[in-house]
Structure 1
Amino acid sequence: MRLQDLFIDETMTIKEALKKLDETAKKILIVTEYNKLKAVITDGDIRRWILRSGDLSKTVSLIMNKKPVFLTIGNEHLAEKLMKEKFIESIPVVNKNKEVVNVIFWNEKFKDRLNYFNKIQNPVVIMAGGKGTRLYPFTKIFPKPLIPIGEIPIVERIMNRFREYGCDDFYLTVNYKKNMIRAYFNELKKDYKINYVEEERPLGTGGSLHLLKGKINNTFFVSNCDILIDGNYSDMLRFHKENKNKITMITSLKHYAIPYGVIKLNEDETIKNIVEKPEYDFLVNTGMYILDPETIEDVPENDFYHITDLINYYIKKGEKVGAYPVSDKSWLDMGQFKEMENMIERLGLK
């Protein structure tokens, strides 16, 4: 990727900037004028705009940071200290004319993940008990969590992402082909702990949480076993705590274009108007959540129950349920064959 691929003009729409962020996968765009640093836009700036229900057709001038942190040539050695202080994952480097000559990226320069906390010590619950019927016939032989993405099973990839931020306490809810899952991890040399939570029968995406009563006493993550989220889990936890949410749902922005003219009718069944090839943007549920520990008390005992039922319960009670958006490209789903192939390709394993 060329440095200039990150340069944009302030007249670009936010939707176009979001697409470019996905294409470059660097989480930053640099607003320039004749190659001179004018502002920056990060995925966090767009996230805050989405949470305010902002119009994605507006220009980036509304959300860009006009006072960005930057370094001058010769001061690159200050990058680590400055990035930790400001909690930023990239920093532009400029010459004496303020022309951008380089960008330092945390994940390329330093080995560990940029973490709001010294270590995320929060438990991670992975829902690994389903039959994975959408992936038949694979799941007639393997349980869905052990289906390999490249050479590594999906559930192990999920755990590895969390381990990058310090998580080492995992709970796997198991039912279908549970002995195969146990056998796989028993053979691994690992420096993390796996606790198995056995369902006697399928309990949905949330029912097995009741089995964790008395075992988890801290804010915890929950993830389906067929997704990968490319995001800063430390920032997600910070967001959850700062907003004092009961539950935070990790969401993804999905764009849909209808390839037809959409008809709107009057009450007398005559045509009111035709909207030609409309486009829509939605926040959708990725299957990853952050929950406060007391939520376990509100999950019914031994009932088939989805985690979305728990979310709706809290919404009706007036409790705070938040959404943390990530981009479409940051959410990898292998729930169906096509999505599984996309995951393999986007992870660079094909």
Structure 2
Amino acid sequence: MSKIIDKYTIMYNYTIRESIKRMDEIGIGFIAVTNEFGKICGVVTDGDFRRAILKGVSLDDDVIKIANKRFISIDPKYSDKEIKDIFKKNPIKHIPVIKNGKLVDLIIKEKFYSGEESIKYNQINLPVVIMAGGRGERLDPFTRILPKPLIPIGDKTVIEIIMDEYAKFGMKNFYISINYKGKMIKAYFEDFAGDYNISFIQEEKPLGTIGALKYLVGEIYTPFCVSNCDIIIKSDYTEIYKFHKKNGYIITIVCSLQHHIIPYGICEIENGGILKMFIEKPRYDLLVNTGMYIFNPEVLDYIPKNEAFDITDLIKIILKKGKRVGVFPISEKSWLDVGQWEEYKETIKYLKLF
């Protein structure tokens, strides 16, 4: 019991920042909050953290401030049938098992159904564009031989893992932009056994991070997802789309909440070099672009034809036009970046494939 309490709980007076880090370490998008007596007084999910960030709640506030105090729980006597009924009737992924007010177990939906039946995710049949035309210079010399999308992680390539994540949520129509070693990427998918509909966008010359999207004019008439070919996003894609649609955004950027500490004292100065403030080892919480987006089809009108064009260029134009751009926050470890060697190694460890 003590192991369960230690693993899945956190004290009510821990900061939201500390709780986000702890949830990332656990890796299930859930944590229970206890009072000073070890009794459960609330629960927090990754969705609760996201809503707090979007509302501008300080990450230095106590986690109890954002905890859900009216949560569903069970006692140890519940049968598997009763647990299934709870999961079917409620949009939850975790059920705390509580005895005398304390957590004694945690039912995790994905593990509960493992080996019996597959988890049914909400389906959103959106087209997906994977930008795979770059040279992958950060992974040199590896990418002198293989294009970045075909980097192996276990028994699959990076791009297959990316596609599998989208397919969980019903997205099986893929456009892949290619340039560098494009013939090799095409050849790989000729023998691909996956149940996906794949089309290729051939860049005749490098077109920047999103210039190739212009070729989709007349092809796509619905919102669509865009992804870099070296990132894996472990999140609920249906929630991202709901957020995009509900708020009327023309673009939604998926961003990872990153925590950075400058290991030095920082001097802020005024004109003439007068010290305004001295901050010892300041800490910053930054929302970093992951390289995953949802676009409305009208964004294609703002992309020039056959010219190098980056996402930053598009965002500037969209904002200047007064259009709405949203940011969907995810946790630090929900973003797996394999575009650099160190991150590639960390991703392999995280996915526990080697």
TM-score by length of 2: 0.93
Aligned pairs (5 A) from 1:186-335: 186-335=190-339
C-alpha distance in 1, partners of 2:3/2:197? 42
Alignment RMSD (CA, Å) = 1.7
Q: Against the structure 1 CA distance between its residues 192 and 288, is the aligned structure 2 distance closer, same or farther, given a 3 Å change threshold?
A: same
Structure 1 range deviating more: 319-328 or 98-107: 98-107
1:41-91 per-residue CA deviation (whole Å, 9 max, x = no partner) reads 111111111112221111012101111122333445333443344322112
Return the letter of the residue paired with 2:162: I
Task: Check conservation: 2:253, 2:292, Cα contact below 8 A.
Answer: yes
1:209-247 per-residue CA deviation (whole Å, 9 max, x = no partner) reads 110111112211100001111111111111111112111
* Per-residue deviation, 1:263: 1.0
1:258-286 per-residue CA deviation (whole Å, 9 max, x = no partner) reads 11111122322132332111111110100
- Are 1:25 and 2:58 an aligned pair? no
C-alpha distance in 1, partners of 2:187/2:139? 21
Task: Check conservation: 2:302, 2:317, Cα contact below 8 A.
Answer: no
1:163-204 per-residue CA deviation (whole Å, 9 max, x = no partner) reads 122211111011111111111111122211111111111111
Return the letter of the residue paired with 1:31: V
Q: Against the structure 1 CA distance between its residues 234 and 78, is the aligned structure 2 distance closer, same or farther, given a 3 Å change threshold?
A: farther
Aligned counterpart for 2:340 among listed residues 309, 318, 336? 336
Aligned pairs (5 A) from 1:73-152: 73-76=76-79, 77-95=81-99, 97-110=100-113, 111-113=117-119, 115=121, 117=122, 119-152=123-156
C-alpha distance in 1, partners of 2:25/2:120? 22
Task: Check conservation: 1:112, 1:164, Cα contact below 8 A.
Answer: no
Q: Which runs of 5+ in 1 are unaligned?
A: none
**Fraction of identical pairs, as percent:** 42
Secondary structure of the residue aligned to 1:179 is helix
Secondary structure of the residue aligned to 1:2 is helix
C-alpha distance in 2, partners of 1:89/1:348? 22
Task: Check conservation: 1:6, 1:29, Cα contact below 8 A.
Answer: yes
C-alpha distance in 1, partners of 2:55/2:106? 29
- Are 1:181 and 2:185 an aligned pair? yes
Show the counterpart of 1:61. Answer: 64
* Per-residue deviation, 1:35: 4.2
Secondary structure of the residue aligned to 1:100 is strand
* Per-residue deviation, 1:93: 2.2
Task: Check conservation: 2:33, 2:64, Cα contact below 8 A.
Answer: no
Task: Check conservation: 2:337, 2:343, Cα contact below 8 A.
Answer: yes
Task: Check conservation: 1:254, 1:328, Cα contact below 8 A.
Answer: yes
Show the counterpart of 1:2. Answer: 3
Moved over 6 A (4+): none
Task: Check conservation: 1:89, 1:114, Cα contact below 8 A.
Answer: no
C-alpha distance in 2, partners of 1:205/1:179? 20
Secondary structure of the residue aligned to 1:72 is coil
Return the letter of the residue paired with 1:202: P
Task: Check conservation: 1:334, 1:343, Cα contact below 8 A.
Answer: yes
Show the counterpart of 1:15. Answer: 17
Return the letter of the residue paired with 1:6: Y
C-alpha distance in 2, partners of 1:324/1:80? 30
Q: Which runs of 5+ in 2 are unaligned?
A: none
Structure 1 range deviating more: 11-20 or 62-71: 62-71
Return the letter of the residue paired with 1:284: V
C-alpha distance in 2, partners of 1:102/1:20? 18
1:7-36 per-residue CA deviation (whole Å, 9 max, x = no partner) reads 122111001100100111121111124443
Q: Against the structure 1 CA distance between its residues 3 and 209, is the aligned structure 2 distance closer, same or farther, given a 3 Å change threshold?
A: same
C-alpha distance in 1, partners of 2:291/2:118? 26
